[in-house]
C-alpha cells in the first residue's frame, strides 16, 4: 500500500485511468523520449558514483554473472514452455520480450529502494545493460532455426513447382528469407543510443566520484523523482491503451504474463541466495528478471521477426506485466528479498 501512495506511482495510476476513459491527455513523443534519456543518464551517474566508492569487488562480479545467466535462462525456459501453446515465432518473440528487461521498472525499483533506505550496488545498472541483448540474440537464433526447418520441408516435384508440406505453409512468407544476421543484431544492441548513454554516464560517475556527485546533485538527485513521475504518467497512458491488445488472447498467454515474472523472480532469488548477494542487489536482480521489455525488444522484433504477432508480445508486456510490476511486483520482490536474505 505504501508503494501505491508514492507520488510517482499515483501518477502512473492516474495515467492508466486517463487512458481507460479515453482522455486526449498525451505526452508528446519528443518529451517522452527526453524523459527516458534523462532517467537513463541519471541512473548511470548514480551507479557510477556508487561504483567509485565500492570499486570492482567480488560481489560486483557475482552480480553481473548472475544477471547474464538469467538473461540466457529466462528466454530458454519461456520459449520451451510457450511453443506448446503458440507458434514457434510467437514463442520466440514473447520469450525474448520477457528475457530482456524494462529500464523504467528498474528505475522505479531503484527509487523504491532509496525510499526504503535499502542499500544497493551501483553496478546493478550495468547488470541491467548486460541483460538487454542476450534474449534478443537467442530469439533471432530461434527464428533462423524455424525458417531453416520450414525451408527444409519444401518439396520440389518433377514439374518444378514448389509444394509446401505440413506446418511450413503457415510460415510461407518467412521460409524463403535468409536468416537475420546475429552480428547485425549484436551491433545494433551494443550501439543503441539509450544503452550507450547509460554506460557512458556510469563511466563519467566513476571517473568524477564525489566531486561529480556534488556537481550533478541538482540534476541526477533533486530532479529525479519529478521526472520519474512525469514519465510514469506517460507509461500509464500507454499501458491503458495497450490493454486492448490482449483481447482475444488465450488464458494461457495471459497467465504467462502474470505468472512468468514471478517464476523468473524466484530464479533470481535462488541465484542470489546461492551467491550470497546483498539484499538490495538481490531485490534489483529479481526486478530485472521479472520485468519485460516493451521498447527495445519489440522494435528489433518488428524488423527481425515479422512472422511474430506484435499485439501478443507488446500487449502482454506493456498491458499486463508492466502495470503489475509497477504497482505490486516491486514491493513484493523487495519484501521477499528482505525476508529471505535479511
Residue 311's pLDDT is what? 82
Q: What is the pLDDT of residue 156?
A: 44
Q: Residue 99: its pLDDT value, please? A: 93
Q: Looking at residue 259, what is its pLDDT?
A: 95
Q: Phi, psi (5° rounding) for residue 148?
A: -65, -40
In whole angstroms, give the CA distance from residue 150 to residue 130.
32
Domain ranges of the chain: 7-153+168-341
Q: pTM of the prediction?
A: 0.82
| CA–CA–CA angle 132, 126, 203 (5° rounding) | 130
Task: Give the model's pLDDT for residue 306.
Answer: 85
Q: pLDDT by residue for the chain (342 residues), tens digit each? A: 556 678 888 999 999 999 889 898 988 989 988 988 898 889 889 888 888 877 778 888 899 999 999 999 999 999 999 999 989 899 999 999 999 999 899 999 999 999 899 999 888 988 988 888 888 888 888 888 888 877 766 544 444 444 333 333 333 334 334 455 556 665 665 666 777 788 888 899 999 988 999 999 998 888 888 998 998 899 888 888 877 777 777 888 899 999 999 999 999 999 999 999 999 999 999 999 999 988 778 777 877 788 888 888 888 998 899 999 999 999 999 999 999 997
**The cell 508440406 sits on which residue?**
165
Query: Which pLDDT score, from 0 to 100, does residue 191 have?
Result: 63
Query: Positive or negative CA dihedral for 181, 187, 190, 193?
Result: negative
CA distance 188 to 133: 10
CA angle 50, 283, 45 (to 5 degrees): 25
DSSP label at 167? G
CATH architecture group of domain 7-153+168-341:
Up-down Bundle (1.20)
Reduced to 3 states, what is the DSSP secondary structure of residue 1? coil
Q: CA 188 from chain center: how many Å?
A: 16
Q: Are 284 and 120 in contact (CB under 8 A)?
A: yes
CA dihedral 46, 47, 49, 52 (to 10 degrees): 180
Amino acid at each position: 500500500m505504501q508503494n501505491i501512495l508514492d507520488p510517482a506511482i499515483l501518477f502512473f495510476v492516474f495515467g492508466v485511468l486517463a487512458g481507460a476513459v479515453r482522455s486526449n491527455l498525451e505526452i508528446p513523443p519528443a518529451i517522452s523520449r527526453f524523459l527516458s534519456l534523462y532517467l537513463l543518464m541519471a541512473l548511470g551517474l548514480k551507479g557510477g558514483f556508487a561504483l567509485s566508492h565500492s570499486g570492482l569487488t567480488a560481489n560486483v562480479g557475482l552480480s553481473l554473472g548472475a544477471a547474464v545467466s538469467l538473461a540466457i535462462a529466462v528466454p530458454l525456459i519461456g520459449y520451451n514452455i510457450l511453443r506448446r501453446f503458440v507458434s514457434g515465432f510467437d514463442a520466440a518473440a514473447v520469450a525474448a520480450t520477457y528475457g530482456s528487461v524494462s529500464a523504467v521498472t528498474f528505475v522505479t525499483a531503484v527509487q523504491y529502494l532509496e525510499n526504503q533506505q535499502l542499500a544497493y550496488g551501483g553496478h546493478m545498472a550495468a547488470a541491467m545493460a548486460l541483460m538487454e541483448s542476450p534474449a534478443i540474440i537467442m530469439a533471432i537464433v530461434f527464428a533462423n532455426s524455424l525458417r531453416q526447418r520450414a525451408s527444409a520441408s519444401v518439396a520440389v516435384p518433377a514439374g518444378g513447382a514448389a509444394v509446401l508440406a505440413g506446418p511450413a505453409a503457415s510460415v510461407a512468407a518467412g521460409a524463403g528469407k535468409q536468416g537475420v544476421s546475429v552480428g547485425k543484431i549484436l551491433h545494433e544492441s551494443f550501439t543503441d543510443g539509450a544503452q550507450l548513454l547509460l554506460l557512458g554516464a556510469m563511466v563519467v560517475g566513476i571517473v568524477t566520484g564525489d566531486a561529480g556527485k556534488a556537481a550533478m546533485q541538482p540534476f541526477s538527485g533533486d530532479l529525479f523523482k519529478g521526472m520519474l513521475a512525469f514519465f510514469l504518467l506517460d507509461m500509464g497512458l500507454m499501458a491503458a491503451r495497450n490493454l486492448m491488445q490482449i483481447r482475444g488472447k488465450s488464458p494461457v498467454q495471459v497467465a504467462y504474463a502474470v505468472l512468468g515474472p514471478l517464476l523468473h523472480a524466484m530464479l533470481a532469488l535462488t541465484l542470489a541466495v546461492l551467491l550470497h548477494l546483498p539484499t538490495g542487489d538481490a531485490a534489483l536482480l529479481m526486478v530485472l528478471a521479472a520485468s519485460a521489455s516493451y521498447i527495445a525488444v519489440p522494435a528489433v522484433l518488428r524488423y527481425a521477426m515479422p512472422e511474430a504477432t506484435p499485439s501478443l508480445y507488446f500487449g502482454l508486456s506493456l498491458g499486463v506485466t508492466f502495470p503489475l510490476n509497477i504497482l505490486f511486483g516491486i514491493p513484493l520482490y523487495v519484501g521477499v528479498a528482505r525476508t529471505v536474505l535479511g
